[in-house]
Amino acid sequence: MSTEFTVGWVLRSSTVGFAVGCRIIQPNTPHFGNLVTVHLEPEAVDLYGIVYNVEVHDDPAVRQLILTGEIEPEVILDQRQNRLVPIELSVLVIGYQQYGRLVQGLPPQPPLSLNAIEICDDEDIRRFTESFDYLRLMLNAPQVPVDELIIANLQRAALAQPESQRYGFLVGAGKALARLLHTDLVRLEGILKRIKMVAL
């Protein structure tokens, strides 16, 4: 598996998802819809998930600064880069890899606190999105902005494909969605329209 670098650590987790804490100074804080991975030892399992929420936590000191109304640029830099104010990412688990086999489904165990999170690079994304079974997990996820998440994820995944294959990739994703949402054509149309915009 090839990934970029650690962007945060697990704060709490369950089989279906987990929360990740990371500092704002991380140059590559994951975006909404990014595919991320966690390596679990000693089980040698790689979990895959999609970031569905990025939250900057409240901080009484920041509230105070806002109330004073005179915020110098140096204060903003100090608050953003020196202080330990965490960003919390919420991740929806969509698959795992064990013994070299990639499964688009829920893993046997969740990650543990302080497991490191890494952003998947283009090669990981291409490999994971060879199948679109994970879209079913996403569509069934409660309390997640599913449609927007699917759009953001497919947009990012399309960019990971060679340019000549992006259209074909999105057509394949669209067909998978059509099968899953054949009873909700309005919703399907909304997603396809947004994906089509990327494909063009």
Partner 1 sequence: MTLALNEISPQVRAMGSSLQSHLARRDEAKATLLALLKEYSTAYSALNDRVVRAAQVQQQQRFDWVGAAPTNEPLAEAISLPASVKTITVIASDGSQILPDQHAITLYYLINVGSIVYQHGSGLKPITHNPKPVLCYEPDDVLDDQGRVISTGEVNVRRDLAELQVLADLAPQYIKPDGEPVITLMDGQLNLRVIDLSYQRQQECQRAYIKMLNQLRDSGALMAAYIDRPRSTFVISLMQLASLDIKAINESSLRHNPFRHLTDIDIFQFLGPGERSAMFSLKAKGMDSYSQARQATHFFYLNVSPSLNLPILARVEVPAWLVTHSSLIDTLHATLVRQARLAGNYPYVLARAHELAIISPEERQAVEMMLAVEMRRQGILPHLSAKQSNKNLLTGRESFRL
CB of 79 or CB of 161, closer to partner 1:
79
CB of 41 or CB of 72, closer to partner 1:
72
From the list 42, 64, 99, 182, which residue makes contact with partner 1 (rule: CB under 8 A)? 64
Enter the tokens of residue 19: 């929360």
Cα gap 25→152, rounded to integer Å: 23
Backbone angles phi, psi at 112, to 5 degrees: -100, 165
Residue 73 Cβ vs partner 1, minimum distance, rounded to whole Å: 5
How does DSSP classify residue 40?
Answer: E
Verify binding: residue 75, partner 1, rule CB under 8 A. Answer: yes
Verify binding: residue 57, partner 1, rule CB under 8 A. Answer: no
From the list 41, 58, 67, 142, which residue makes contact with partner 1 (rule: CB under 8 A)? 67
3-state secondary structure string across 123-162: HHHHHHCCCCCHHHHHHCCCCCCHHHHHHHHHHHHHHCCC
38 in Cβ contact with 10 (< 8 Å): yes
How does DSSP classify residue 33?
Answer: T
Q: How many residues bind partner 1 (CB under 8 A)?
A: 16
Residues 78-97 that bind partner 1 (CB under 8 A): 78, 81-83
CB of 58 or CB of 74, closer to partner 1:
74
Binding site for partner 1 (CB under 8 A): 61, 64-65, 67-68, 70-75, 77-78, 81-83
